[in-house]
Structure 1
Amino acid sequence: MDRSPAPALPVAKVSVDVPLPHLDRPFDYLVAAGDDAAAQPGVRVKVRFAGQMVNGFLLERVESSAHAKVAYLDKVVSPERVLDPEIARLSRAVADRYAGNLSDVLRLAVPPRHARVEAQKSPAGGAPGAGAAGAESEGAEAGAGNAGPSNHLAGESGGGADYPAGPAFLHALEQGRDPRAVWSALPGEDWAARIAEAAAATARGGRGVVIVVPDARDLERLDRALGKALGDGQHVALHAAAGPSERYRRFLAASRHHIKVVAGTRAAMFAPAADVGLVVIWDDGDDLHAEPRAPYPHAREVLLTRAQAAGCAALVAGFARTGEAQLLVETGWAKEIVAARDMIRARCPAIAPTGDDPQLARDPGAATARLPSLAWQAARQALQAGAPVLVQVPRRGYLPNVACAECRTPARCPHCSGPLGLAGARDVPTCHWCGRAAAAYACPACGGRRLRASITGARRTAEELGRAFPGVPVRTSGRDEILDTVAGEAALVVATPGAEPVAEGGYGAVLLLDTWALLTRADLRAAEETMRRWFYASALARHNGRVVVVADGSLAPVQALLRWDPGWFAARELAERRELGFPPATKFVSLTGRTEAVAELLDAARLPEEAEILGPVPAADDQERMLVRVSRGRAAELARVLHEAAGVRSAKRATLPVRIQVDPAELL
């Protein structure tokens, strides 16, 4: 069939959906005159590539090609421009940062097509029923369950603003400027309403908003809050539970720029928004923000990259604070939004440890008991007052905690400070990072030579509490069933971290049990993750309630919880990581594959001179794992050379894959 090229800009740059690293670049195709109107940047196309028909996205139209012979686009699948130019640039930046392919990132950024949905027109004010849960659920408030009055980021309480920097932040958003902040929420804060206030201020300034939360429960709360702050049909909530066609309908409402505010779980980090003015991530330390598919981007890093590239505002929010968020503050990239100390004291429940000297004097068994007398008394008093009691226990399925059997200090490698595990028939301590054995291990804290690994589950805890408090209802929330809310009446609620339900009016008491099982996890982020779990559970207590943490009061995480000072703990944690060379002070890349494949990749890579290689250590399915560590300043270079090395292997048609993970979620 004879075809003639389009009269203007006849050459299309196309990203083809081919997962080979050496083909990770745009390819030139001619646009036929008949496809001129439909073949616009952002549309889906089909092209002939290496003798096969493959999918792709048209990135841009140009006047000419450097190649003498260029094939025509085979088909414009749809004239719908689903790939926003800003998202195309963001996807390229994310692929480069994570040593991945653009096609893999685009697969995450743009949902599968539904032709019937595309044929429907989105209402000018947004899709009807756009929210994930609707605004009708008045019985389940969006907040964390505090019985006190609702507060505002810029509001007044007790004669002064709850957050002194809050009014200036909201004013800047309304003026269309680009403030960047790390927000530490007060106990019991209606966090969803506060984020909705920031979204409304940005929308009044005429710009778009993208908000990412960890899970569907958080999205439902945020959806209700956005509906109240913005009005019906002014936002969409993206979540897989809506179903493929409904999710695509909501995506189109955003990509067609019919609405300004988009909220969702992890995939919403790539959501299109007209003239994005604010990106928000809630609880950035939750592991649900880490994408499990290549190239494994993290929602926080994607949103921060987006804010930097688009010149828009950013808000990293949570009850606790991660080392990455603290680094933003310390480098001056973002400012703190925190409450004044007198406000924290007024809003914070009474928090007490069981392992301090006065408590041990009254109860000598508090150091080893699962339910010391202080915790038992707090639970009894709350139940007698008709209030529910939350009991947090470690999540089932954690890797075995390897620590000193005497003092429970986490076991670390004497060579690289990596976590130790018990391997072999004789249980020889072996490093998960460098693979070296530490047969002569001695605890640096007490000199003990025995290690232990154990955990207590939620079900057993519920049985024990049922016997301790006969006649009191006991409910569990965890892997098998996650409760969203519970009534504000006397009951025991046993929950694993992350599955704590909101109680009507807040909990009268919160008990944090088996804390050593969180603190001694064989994980770089053990202390940070413990803090995050404790803060989020404690925030569910009433402002006049009690929180009992079964731990030594001298521990840094306990001290931070007692003072409700996540910034202090994050700064301390970041300083220690700088000293030890851990992220985010440095950058790690994990290489996982068969031994010969990993060796081949490293031979092909021109690593920076300062790069430090740790390992190998065994991985699943007869594979091994290597870690490469560099300074933050060389991170982009390391990602580039590893991607180039992967391209060399794919060009040679290497059959054994190597998984490259920049900033792996867990360094075990």
Structure 2
Amino acid sequence: MLFDAPSPTVAQVSVDSPLPHLDRLFDYLVPTDLAARVRPGCRVKVRFSGRLLSGYVISLTSGSDYHGRLHPIEKLVSDESVLSEEVASLARAVADRYAGNLSDVLRLAVPPRQARVEQEKPAEAAGTIVEPPAAGWRRYAHGEPFLTALAKRRNPRVVWQAVAGEDWPTRFAEAAAASAAHGRGALLVVPDQRDLDRLDAALARVLGPDRHVCLSAASGPAKRYRAFLAVRRGAVKVVAGTRAACFAPVESLGLVAIWDDGDDSHAEPHAPYPHAREVLLTRAQLAGCGALVAGWARSTQAQLLVDSGWATAVTADRAQVRRSSPRVVPVGDDADLAADPDSGAARLPTPAWRAAQRALRDDLPVLVQTPRRGYLPAVSCVNCRRRAQCQQCSGPLSLPSAQGIPVCRWCGRPAADHRCPHCGDRRLRAVVVGSARTAEELGRAFAGVPVHTSGGDRILEQVGSGRSIVVATPGAEPPAGDGYGAVLLLDTWALLSRVDLRAEEEALRRWYAAAALARPADDGGTVVVVADGGLPTVQALLRWDPAWFAERELATRTQLRFPPAVRMASLSGSPQAIAEFSSIASWGDEVEVLGPIPVDDRSERLLLRTSRRHGARLAQLLHKAAATRSLTKPGDVVRIQIDPRELW
């Protein structure tokens, strides 16, 4: 009597390889002794071209289309399924969106294994979450309906513009609770650890203890992996974290949210360089869940979501905005200079000085935002005014302190014997004033008032409500107990004059982040911005209307055919590598080629532009060309970036 032999189990494995031509799934036999333990999402070791490589089992089948001999899986690293089907599909979509490899995205999505943590007792399922009150969202048009839609398991997509002084972590926690109270998960992403700490506290307060986890590299490998497993095993459905948390394996996802989507911290510095906002929006589309894009300002990308009808704007009416916003005073136009001729050269113009004095007199703190860290980041010759440069590398010299010797900002070499090569003078003057020098000058000007600095690796978490002065760099402004009496925005030219497509948008975003910490105008809050009041960025701050600026900026970029109105790609590498890549690729009529343009002595950049409709096609062409070129084992690497943050 004949019996049919059972069909062997075949695993489709994503092999960890950086080579574009290997960006596909490979079939491997599952050994009989591992058949009961190997399952989709687990880590394995496989033999590939004579080497033992790591990989993830994506799926299991009973057969293979490959007609050659299949190799068996060499080792089951862990039978813990760490990669869900939803996250695997998301990773593939993100890789395709950014012309990258699936293995590179999976490296971002799944944290490194901690064997000891896997052996620990699994976390218990979180308790019941109570539906939150909607009072905080009622002062925004479409705010309460947004929460109601989440509670009814619908999928609202909104762009929320928070008013000044808003407790945004609590609003985020309420949105997460509205989703989780009805059996759906929530994923909340913030730019940095400071924001995550605030959101963590708000979630614990609104949801209750042990009903959410935080995913962040700052937590440490073991704690991060423990939190990841709690989510993957279904014990927790609410996750907060920084950009890598976009891939958290939340079950029954009902909401994805991102705070301050214009912050550079949301852009991944590793290939394929995805942006957290785009990952979350892709996930919302694939999972069919709600989406919340929020911030003090509004990015042009968020404005595009509103203009296209993909998302609804959640904003407060003008009366509410006026009640919440501080008084904004611009300093720097012709009328100001005519009234006070010395203010143009003063470090602290008269209106800023008076605003600080008034706040300190009322026993309120003062926030001073200055764009540059250090003491004197750039110096020049007193006599001929030429920039002081390092004799070794021609880098700019800086002064670390009042008594310090000049130091090169590029190579770090001291220049104690510096002498101007043009006129021979040894004396130096300030070109750019840093936060340390600003704090020193303010300490002398306001004797007896405590002066604190916040920036770099010394960031204050919070300041008290008493009289003090805080000098902070953008992004390092600590909130004050009852708000700042005055916020002074200095050296605005340093942000506005950057050679960057996003210079004005980024400047306004940073100004709003500082100005939103001020008290309302009725409570004495004043913001002094040292810039011409006629500039569109200053006008947007004066009117506290970031949507107006975002609409204007998006219209300009649409007319000039710049992102986000179009899709652009950047190819960076040596001239030979760029030429090789271009000879392989076939762009077609829908792709416009710009360049190449030199970046430095050894590399150049080629820009490619196409419509948003053809964006996926461009990414496909780039990945195909990269795969063809990788077969030849080229020596020089070409860096591919879709929608790069910097275009030149």
TM-score, with structure 2 as normaliser: 0.87
Q: Which residue of 2 aligns with 1:421?
A: none
Q: Secondary structure of the equivalent of 1:587?
A: strand
Q: Give 1:365 shift.
A: 3.9
Shift of 1:621: 7.1
Specify the alignment match of 2:558 in structure 1: 578
Question: Is the 1:82–1:252 Cα contact (8 Å) retained in structure 2?
Answer: yes
Alignment match, 1:136: none
**Alignment of structure 1 residues 177-188 onto 2, 5 Å:** 177-188=154-165
Q: 1:487 to 1:177 in 2, by over 3 A?
A: same
CA shift digits 1:31-56 (9 cap, x unpaired): 22322221111011111111111110
State the alpha-carbon separation in 1 of the partners of residues 588 and 238 from structure 2. Answer: 42
In the alignment, structure 2 segments of 5+ residues that lack a partner are: 379-393, 395-429
The 1:43–1:6 alpha-carbon spacing in structure 2 relative to 1, beyond 3 Å, is: farther
Equivalent residue number for residue 104 of structure 2: 104
**Which residue matches 1:420?**
none
Q: Tell me if 1:478 matches 2:477.
A: no
- Aligned residue for 1:196, secondary structure, equals helix
One-letter identity of the residue aligned with 2:49: A
Could you tell me how far 1:20 is from its partner in structure 2?
Answer: 0.7
Residue among 349, 359, 367 paired with 1:390: 367
- The CA deviation at 1:361 is 5.0
Could you list the per-position Cα deviations for residues 173-232 of structure 1 after superposition, in whole angstroms to 9, with x for gaps in the alignment?
A: 011110000000010000000000000000012111111101100000000000011111
Letter in 2 for 1:48: R
* Residues 19 and 621 (structure 1), Cα distance of their counterparts in 2 relative to 1, 3 Å cut: farther
Question: What secondary structure, in the 3-state scheme, does the structure 2 residue paired with 1:375 have?
Answer: helix
Aligned-residue CA RMSD in angstroms?
2.3
Q: CA deviation at 1:92?
A: 0.3
The SS at the match of 2:364 is coil
Which secondary structure state, in structure 2, belongs to the residue aligned with residue 302 of structure 1?
A: helix
Report the equivalent of 2:260.
283
Q: State how 1:251-400 maps to structure 2 within 5 Å.
A: 251-356=228-333, 359-360=336-337, 362-396=339-373
CA–CA distance in structure 2, aligned partners of residues 621 and 358 of structure 1: 46
Q: Does 1:555 align with 2:540?
A: no
Tell me, in whole angstroms, the C-alpha distance in 1 between the residues paired with 2:512 and 2:558. 24
Determine the C-alpha separation between the residues in 2 that align with 1:366 and 1:94. 51
Could you tell me how far apart the structure 1 residues matched to 2:211 and 2:601 are?
Answer: 49
Output one character per residue of 1:412-443: Cα deviation in whole Å (capped at 9) or x when no partner. xxxxxxxxxxxxx9xxxxxxxxxxxxxxxxxx
What is the deviation of 1:595? 1.0
Q: Please say if 1:43 is aligned against 2:20.
A: no
Letter matched to residue 76 of structure 1:
L
When residues 273 and 156 of structure 1 are mapped into structure 2, their CA distance, relative to the original with a 3 A threshold, is: closer
1:392-471 alignment to 2 at 5 Å?
392-396=369-373, 455-471=432-448
Q: Give the Å deviation of 1:541.
A: 0.6
**Secondary structure in 2 matching 1:485:** coil
Match of 1:66 in 2: 65
Residue 545 of structure 2 corresponds to: 565
- Asked if the contact 1:487–1:503 (Cα under 8 Å) also holds between the matched residues in 2, the reply is yes
The answer for the alignment partner of 1:450 in structure 2 is none
Partner of 1:33: 32
Question: Residue 602 of structure 1: which of 582, 586, 594 is its match?
Answer: 582
CA-CA distance at 1:363 after TM superposition:
2.5
Q: How big is the shift at 1:367?
A: 4.5
1:659 to 626, 639, 645: 639
Which residue is 2:211 aligned to?
234
Deviations 1:372-426 (A, max 9, x none): 11110000000111111000011349xx99xxxxxxxxxxxxxxxxxxxxxxx9x
More off after superposition, 65-74 vs 189-198: 65-74
- Among 513, 517, 521, the alignment partner of 2:494 is 517
Any conservation in 1 of the 2:136–2:171 contact (CA below 8 Å)? no
The match for 1:16 is 15
Question: After superposition, what is the alpha-carbon deviation per residue over 1:333-380, rounded to whole angstroms, capped at 9, x for unaligned?
Answer: 000010111111111111111135664453244455432111100000
SS at 1:507 equivalent: coil
Give the superposition deviation at 1:511. 0.4
Distance 1:304 1:181 in 2: 11
CA–CA distance in structure 1, aligned partners of residues 136 and 474 of structure 2 = 33
CA contact (8 A) 1:153 1:167 kept: no
Check whether the contact 1:154–1:162 (CA below 8 A) recurs between aligned residues. Answer: no
* SS of structure 1 residue aligned to 2:321: helix
In the superposition, relative to structure 1, how do residues 8 and 537 fare at CA in structure 2: closer, same or farther (>3 Å)?
A: farther
Number of matched pairs? 588
CA 1:565–1:6: 2 relative to 1, 3 Å: farther
Superposition deviation, residue 496 in structure 1:
0.5
- What CA distance in whole angstroms lies between the structure 1 residues aligned with 2:546 and 2:6? 61
- State the SS of the aligned residue for 2:166: coil
Per-residue deviation, 1:469: 1.6
Out of 129, 143, 149, the residue aligned to residue 172 of structure 1 is 149
Whether the 8 Å contact between 1:9 and 1:61 is mirrored in structure 2 is no
Answer whether contact 1:182 1:315 (CA < 8 A) is retained. Answer: yes
Aligned-pair distance for 1:478? 1.0
Query: Structure 1: which 5+ residue stretches go unaligned?
Result: 128-151, 402-424, 426-452
Q: Which secondary structure state, in structure 2, belongs to the residue aligned with residue 77 of structure 1?
A: strand
Give distance in 1, aligned partners of 2:135 and 2:601: 56
CA contact (8 A) 1:6 1:31 kept: no
2:519 counterpart SS class? strand
Question: Aligned partners of 2:5, 2:271: CA distance in 1, in Å?
Answer: 36
Distance in structure 1 (CA, Å) of the matches to 2:134 and 2:350? 41
Q: Secondary structure at the match of 1:277?
A: strand
- For residue 18 of structure 1, report the CA deviation from its aligned partner: 1.2
Distance 2:558 2:136 in 1: 39
Corresponding residue for 2:193? 216
Determine the structure 2 residue equivalent to 1:612. Answer: 592
Preserved contact between residue 515 and residue 549 of structure 1 (Cα < 8 Å):
yes
What whole-Å deviation, never above 9, does each CA across 1:53-86 have from its counterpart, x for those lacking one? 1110000112211112212212221110100111
Q: Which of 628, 639, 642 is equivalent to 2:619? A: 639
CA contact (8 A) 2:191 2:242 kept: yes
Change (3 A) 1:21 1:153: farther
Quote the residue 2:390 is aligned against.
none
Residue 394 of structure 1 contacts residue 456 of structure 1 at CA under 8 Å; is this kept in 2? Answer: no
**CA distance 1:6–1:270, change in 2 (3 Å):** farther
SS in 1 for 2:448: coil
Q: 1:474, 1:493 within 8 Å by CA — same for their partners in 2?
A: yes
After superposition, what is the alpha-carbon deviation per residue over 1:139-182, rounded to whole angstroms, capped at 9, x for unaligned? xxxxxxxxxxxxx993179xxx3112111000000111100000
Counterpart of 1:75, as a letter, is K
Q: Which letter maps to 2:455? A: G
Q: Tell me, in whole angstroms, the C-alpha distance in 2 between the residues paired with 1:580 and 1:82.
A: 45
Q: For residues 460-512 of structure 1, give each alpha carbon's deviation from its aligned partner in whole angstroms, at most 9, with x where no partner exists.
A: 21122222222222111111411111111111111110010111111110001
Give the counterpart letter for 1:531 in structure 2.
L
1:105 maps to amino acid: V
Tell me: CA distance 1:502–1:310, structure 2 relative to 1, closer, same or farther (3 Å): same
Deviation at 1:319, TM superposition (A): 0.4
2: CA distance between counterparts of 1:63 and 1:20?
28
CA contact (8 A) 2:7 2:63 kept: no
Q: Distance in 1 between matches of 2:92 and 2:507?
A: 35
Q: C-alpha separation between the residues in 2 aligned to 1:499 and 1:113?
A: 33
Once the two structures are aligned, what percentage of the paired residues are identical? 59
Most deviating of 318-327 and 611-620: 611-620
Aligned partners of 2:326, 2:28: CA distance in 1, in Å?
Answer: 64
